[in-house]
Structure 1
Amino acid sequence: MPRWIANLADPMIAVLLIATSLALILPASGETREVAQIVSNVSIFLLFLINGMRIARGEILNAIGNWRFFGPLVLFVFIGMAAMGTGFSFLAALYAAPEIALGFIFLGVLPSTIQSATSYTTLAGGNAALSVVGAALINILGVFVSAPLFAALAGSAAVDLGTDTIVRIGMILLLPFVIGQTLQGFTRSWLIERKSQVVWLDRVVIGIAVYVAMSGAVSQGLMSSMSPASAGWLTLITIAFLVLAYSLAWKLSGLSGYARGDRIAFVFAGPQKSVAIGAPLAAILFEPAVAGFVIAPLLLYHLLQLAVAAPLATRFAQQSEG
């Protein structure tokens, strides 16, 4: 079976589909939703604690030192794609609910995903070490940058980044990561030995966050507000966003004068957006009734990038062999 076909069976796709389907069929509401939100917050805290434990401090320092790669990567992720998200949000507003259009700005300001950066850069024959470290550092920056950048682009009417929200971000995302960095000398090797179990923890936490967010959207009439035509336009706009993001990443890496292996690393460390950051952050920034609408473009983009990344990596590998 070709690698790209096998990729369609990626467990993360199954987790997202199950969480979304469960929210559509049996959404959490009332007191149940409050309990689910608490469970989600605790799970997110645990996820970022483990992230802090497993991302080596030395790798972070090395990535910062490689400014020739990391500088353009930061500009692409947090300026280029943020600008793209803002532009696409105006287009989406013509065909979808305002909250869904807002989701394209949210999509644009998110960091990339570490796991995909590693696996697909390796498959493509690129500089895997550079890709994973760059993506990891982008994720760390995302915890600090994504929320205020979104607030600046979307405006105060979209999200109130007040003291309470900042404190929640600090307590649920930053604090556990700092604790994890402090403890990693005692825990990192233990986590590495149990990598497969840790990956499933990531997926379960993301699934919980997506379920809670989508439950709120369903209770606010997501299905009634999403006509077949709107769903079709959302899909087309998201595909256009994905194609443009990958194309610009490849072009920018070429203009930066990178070797082919580094260009491949840039492509898989930049355009791929992280639902592992996006779903938890949406749960903090937005009320459940809004969060499900806002993450709709992110969920669709994530599914599409999983389907596209493997054949793209295979093509890169074949070109290198040729």
Structure 2
Amino acid sequence: MLRRLLPDNFLLMLVGTVLLATFLPAQGGFAVVVGWLSTATVVALFFFHGAKLPREQVVAGLMHWRLHLTILLSTFVFFPLLGLAGMKAFPTLLPPDLWTGILFVCALPSTVQSAIAFVSMARGNVPAAIASASASQMLGIVLTPMLMGLLAGSHGGAGGIEGIGKVALQIFVPFMAGHLLRPWIAGFVNRNKQIIGYTDRSTILIAVYGAFSAAVLEGLWHKLPPISFALLFVVDGVLLAIALTGTWAAGRALGFDREDRIAIQFCGTKKSLVQGVPMAKVLFPGPAAGVILLPLMLFHQMQLMACAFIARRYATKLEQEEKAAQPA
């Protein structure tokens, strides 16, 4: 259990990247190279995401439409409304860019790998989790920039049509190209899963380095006092707690069984760092992206720790119930 609650190696790499950008930010010609490299890795990332997604997985998942609709409403309606309500109720609690970062977290799609892993660990409805998480990732390519245009267009960044256009060129087009080419390149992708898997992490690290470099050069650490980080921790924690409690209560109120409620809770509350960082690079060019990414990076680790604890608790409780039901 302790191991699941500790930061993973990738989180440590993220922290190291932020420190590198703090002390050795990319400047001048090197910053231009980092920007081009970041764009290239974003295109490659979503091309391979499209190539890896089996079409039959999504089609099969549509059979359980009530469950998937509940998860998607949690991801793209409940979460954004929750973030917007928090910003409207406490507008001065966080600086504007951090509130934009909170809204960005709320607008992001679900993860695939970790959501499915936690549903499996908790012994929930894994096939439904696979279908819902996959659908969420596909829809997020279009819905996330649209939501940001509606929620945070006045707070900076590329909202509305401009944001959708950039996402189409750098994310949606590569994704669809990879998916359409899947019949011909699926074998190559499956044989090289480990190598292609490095694309996810390298894309995030390069994008984080570029974004934080620009933010540091603009005086990021002087503009954000320690109290802002403390308050951000509280806001992220409250957001996650309400989401986890609300999705479980909604699943119960709608009459879903235990396995489906687990899928709703984990798939409906997880937010994708893998898609979030590249999208932030596209939607929020310039130094603002570094600040806007802070809520997501913190939320990512908090959701891993909380969901690991909850999933293990569900599994333990079920094991105890099964053991108690066995004849003596």
Residue 80 of structure 1 corresponds to: 78
Q: Which residue of 1 aligns with 2:293?
A: 295
Matched residue, 2:189: 191
How far, CA to CA, are the matches of 1:127 and 1:163 in structure 2? 37
3-state SS, counterpart of residue 155 of structure 1: helix
Structure 1 gaps, min length 5: none
Q: Does 1:139 align with 2:152?
A: no
Answer with 1 or 2: which has the greater Rg.
2
CA contact (8 A) 2:149 2:159 kept: yes
Amino acid at match of 1:27: P
Q: Which residue of 1 aligns with 2:54?
A: 56
**Residue in 2 that maps onto 1:200:** 198
Q: Report the alpha carbon displacement of residue 17 of structure 1 after superposing the two structures with TM.
A: 1.6
* Mapping for residues 171-190 of structure 1, pairs under 5 Å: 171-190=169-188
> 1:265 deviation in Å?
1.3
1:30-61 CA-partner distances (Å, limit 9, x unpaired): 33222211101100000000000111111111
Amino acid at match of 1:167: G
State the 1:27 CA deviation: 1.5
What code does the residue aligned with 2:33 have?
V
Partner of 1:20: 18
* Higher alpha-carbon deviation: 62-71 or 83-92: 83-92
Which residue among 37, 41, 44 is the counterpart of 2:42?
Answer: 44
Q: For residue 254 of structure 1, what is the amino acid of its counterpart?
A: R
TM-score (norm 2): 0.92
What is the rounded CA distance, in whole Å, between the counterparts of 2:196 and 2:258 in structure 1?
Answer: 32
Deviations 1:114-151 (A, max 9, x none): 11112111111111221122111101000011101111
d(CA) in 2 for partners of 1:68 and 1:87? 26
Give the direction of change, closer, same or farther, for the CA distance of 1:122–1:74 in structure 2 (3 Å limit): same
What is aligned with 1:283?
281
Counterpart among 161, 165, 168 of residue 167 in structure 1:
165
Q: Does structure 1 retain, via aligned residues, the 8 Å contact 2:152–2:159?
A: no
Determine the structure 2 residue equivalent to 1:251: 249
CA deviation profile, 1:201-253 (whole Å, cap 9, x unmatched): 21111111111112222122111122121211111111111111111111112
Structure 1 residues 114 and 227: alpha-carbon distance in aligned structure 2, compared to 1, 3 A threshold: same
Match of 2:103 among 102, 105, 112: 105
CA contact 1:121–1:313 (8 Å) conserved in 2: yes
Please say if residues 153 and 160 of structure 2, whose CA atoms lie closer than 8 Å, have aligned partners that are also in contact: no
Q: How much has 1:290 moved relative to structure 2?
A: 0.7
Q: Which runs of 5+ in 2 are unaligned?
A: 321-328
Deviation by residue 1:59-91 (Cα, 9 ceiling, x = unmatched): 111223321111111111111000111123346
Q: Identity rate of aligned residues, in percent?
A: 30
Aligned residues of 1:23 and 1:215 also touching (Cα < 8 A): yes
Deviation of residue 266 (structure 1)?
A: 1.4
In the other structure, the counterpart of 2:211 is 213
- Distance in 2 separating the partners of 1:261 and 1:188: 31
Instruction: Write the distance in 1 (CA, Å) between the matches of 2:5 and 2:217.
Output: 33
SS of 1:201 mapped into structure 2: helix
- Contact preservation (8 Å) 1:7, 1:307: yes
Task: Give yes or no for the alignment of 1:70 onto 2:55.
Answer: no
* Match of residue 304 from structure 2: 306
Alignment of 1:152 onto 2:150: yes
1:272 deviates by: 0.9
Asked if the contact 1:96–1:226 (Cα under 8 Å) also holds between the matched residues in 2, the reply is no
Deviation at 1:188, TM superposition (A): 2.6
Aligned residues: 320
User: Cα distance, 1:186 vs. partner?
Assistant: 2.6
Aligned residue for 2:181, secondary structure, equals helix
Give the whole-Å Cα distance in 2 for the aligned partners of 1:188 and 1:121.
26
Q: Which segment drifts farther, 280-289 or 61-70? A: 61-70
Q: Find the aligned partners of 2:89 and 2:28 in 1 and give their Cα distance.
A: 34
Alpha-carbon offset, residue 287 of structure 1: 2.1
Aligned-partner residue type, residue 108 of structure 1: C
**Structure-2 change in CA distance of 1:188 and 1:89 (3 Å):** farther
Q: Name the aligned partner's letter for residue 221 of structure 2.
A: M
Q: CA deviation at 1:107?
A: 1.1
Distance 1:114 1:91 in 2: 32
| 1:7–1:310 Cα contact (<8 Å) kept | yes
Alpha-carbon spacing, 1:123–1:33, altered in 2? closer, same or farther (3 Å): same
* CA contact 2:145–2:163 (8 Å) conserved in 1: no
